[in-house]
C-alpha cells in the first residue's frame, strides 16, 4: 500500500510563507507566521490593550476564531457590524467607528508573495480603515489567501471570495449564480465589487501587523 509522504507539501508551503513574509517586511509591514488560529488569537489578544476601542472588519476569518466574543468578554469596546437586527443607522455608526478605532482588525482578500494586500469592497469602511485612521491595524490571513501577484489576487477575489460572499448575501450577481465572475455583466444594485485596493507598502501613519495562519480560514 502506498504510504503518503507529506514532506514535499510541507516544504512547498514553508517556502511560500517564507517568501511572503520576507517581502511583507521589505514593504514595511510587521509580519509573522503562526500554525493555528488559536496561536493567532493569543497574539492578537497580547497586542490589543483591554482599554482599546476595537473595530472589526467584515471578515469570516475573525468570526471563525471567536475573536469578537473574547474581546467583548474581557472588556474591549468592539464596533462590530455583523450583529443580527442592527438598524441601518447603528450599522453605519459602527462602520464610522472603524475609522477612529484604536485598533482595527481585519482579514484581507488576498496577500501576494511580493508582499502586497489586495482587497475588493462594496461599502469601503473596511479598506479605508486598513489604510488610515486607526492607530494600529492587525491583518489576519490564512495561508490559503497567498497568491503569486496582484493580478492573481484580483482573480482570487472575483472567483473565490466574491462568489461565496454573494451567496451569503443572496445577491443575484453572475458570481452568486454561477460561482464565476462576469464583471461586464454585473451591475448595481446587487454588485458587491465597487472598490479595489492594493496596499503596496505600509501606509505612512499606520502601524500594520500581518499574521499569516497555517490553517484554512475565511473565504
Ligand atoms: S464583479 Fe460582480 S460577478 Fe464579478 S465578482 Fe464582483 S459581484 Fe461577482
Instruction: Quickly list DSSP for the chain.
Output: ------HHHHHHHHHHHHHHHHHHHHTT-EEEEESSHHHHHHHHHHHS-TT-EEEE-S-HHHHHTTHHHHHHHHT-EEEES--TT--HHHHHHHHHHHHT-SEEEE--SEEETTS-EEEEESS-HHHHHHHSSSSEEEEEEEGGGEESSHHHHHHHIIIIIHHHHHHHTT--SHHHHHSS--GGG--TTT----EEEEE-S--TT-EEEEEEESS----
Which of 162, 178, 188 should be mutated for ligand 1, with most atoms under 8 A from CB?
Answer: 162
R_g (Cα) of the chain, nearest Å: 17
Cis status of the peptide bond prior to 53, with omega within 30 of 0: no
pLDDT of residue 7: 85
Q: What's the pLDDT tens digit per position in 37-80?
A: 999 999 999 999 999 999 998 888 899 989 999 999 999 999 98
Distance of CA 104 to the CA centre of its chain: 11
- Is 200 among the domain residues? yes
Does residue 175 carry a pLDDT above 90? yes
Residue 182 alpha carbon, nearest atom of ligand 1: 3
Number of domains in the chain: 1
pLDDT of residue 58: 83
pLDDT mean over 184-204: 95
- Is 1 among the domain residues? no
Binned at pLDDT 50, 70 and 90, residue 23 comes out as very high
pLDDT mean over 91-118: 96
pLDDT mean over 171-180: 94
Q: From residue 110, how far is each of 21, 27, 31, 85, 141 by CA, in Å?
A: 14, 16, 15, 30, 8
Residue closest to 207 by CA, chosen among 109, 82, 102, 124: 102
Q: Which CATH number belongs to the domain containing residue 141 in this structure? A: 3.40.50.10420
Does residue 86 carry a pLDDT above 80? yes
- Is 72 among the domain residues? yes
- Is 47 among the domain residues? yes
Grid coordinates standing for 167?
A: 451567496
- Is 162 among the domain residues? yes
Does residue 4 carry a pLDDT above 80? no
Q: Whose CA is nearest to atom 8 of ligand 1?
A: 175
Distance (Å, whole) CA 187 – CA 95: 24
Top pLDDT among 7 and 126 is at 126
pLDDT mean over 136-157: 96
pLDDT of residue 219: 86
Distance (Å, whole) CA 114 – CA 119: 15
Pocket of ligand 1 (CB under 6 A): 158, 162, 166, 173-175, 181-183, 186, 191-193
- Is 184 among the domain residues? yes
CA dihedral 215, 63, 81, 78 (to 10 degrees): -100
pLDDT of residue 10: 81
- Is 140 among the domain residues? yes
- Give me the domain span that covers residue 197: 7-213
- Is 2 among the domain residues? no
pTM confidence score:
0.93
Residue 174 alpha carbon, nearest atom of ligand 1: 3
Amino acid at each position: 500500500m502506498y504510504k503518503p509522504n507529506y514532506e514535499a507539501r510541507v516544504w512547498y508551503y514553508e517556502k511560500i510563507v517564507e517568501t511572503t513574509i520576507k517581502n511583507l517586511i521589505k514593504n514595511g509591514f510587521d509580519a509573522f507566521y503562526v500554525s493555528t488560529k488559536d496561536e493567532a488569537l493569543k497574539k492578537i489578544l497580547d497586542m490589543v490593550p483591554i482599554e482599546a476601542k476595537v473595530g472589526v472588519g467584515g471578515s469570516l476569518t475573525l468570526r471563525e476564531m471567536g475573536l469578537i466574543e473574547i474581546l467583548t468578554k474581557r472588556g474591549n469596546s468592539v464596533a462590530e457590524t455583523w450583529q443580527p437586527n442592527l438598524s441601518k443607522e447603528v450599522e453605519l455608526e459602527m462602520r464610522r467607528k472603524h475609522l477612529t478605532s484604536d485598533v482595527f482588525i481585519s482579514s484581507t482578500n488576498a496577500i501576494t508573495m511580493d508582499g502586497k494586500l489586495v482587497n475588493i469592497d462594496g461599502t469601503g469602511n473596511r479598506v479605508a480603515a486598513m489604510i488610515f485612521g486607526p492607530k494600529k491595524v492587525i491583518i489576519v490571513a490564512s495561508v490559503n489567501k497567498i497568491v503569486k501577484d496582484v493580478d492573481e489576487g484580483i482573480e482570487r477575489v472575483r472567483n473565490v471570495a466574491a462568489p461565496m460572499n454573494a451567496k451569503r448575501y443572496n445577491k443575484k450577481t453572475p458570481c452568486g449564480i454561477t460561482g464565476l465572475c462576469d464583471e461586464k455583466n454585473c451591475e448595481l444594485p446587487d454588485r458587491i465589487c465597487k472598490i479595489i485596493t492594493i496596499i503596496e507598502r505600509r501606509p505612512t501613519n499606520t502601524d500594520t501587523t500581518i499574521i499569516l495562519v497555517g490553517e484554512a480560514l475565511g473565504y
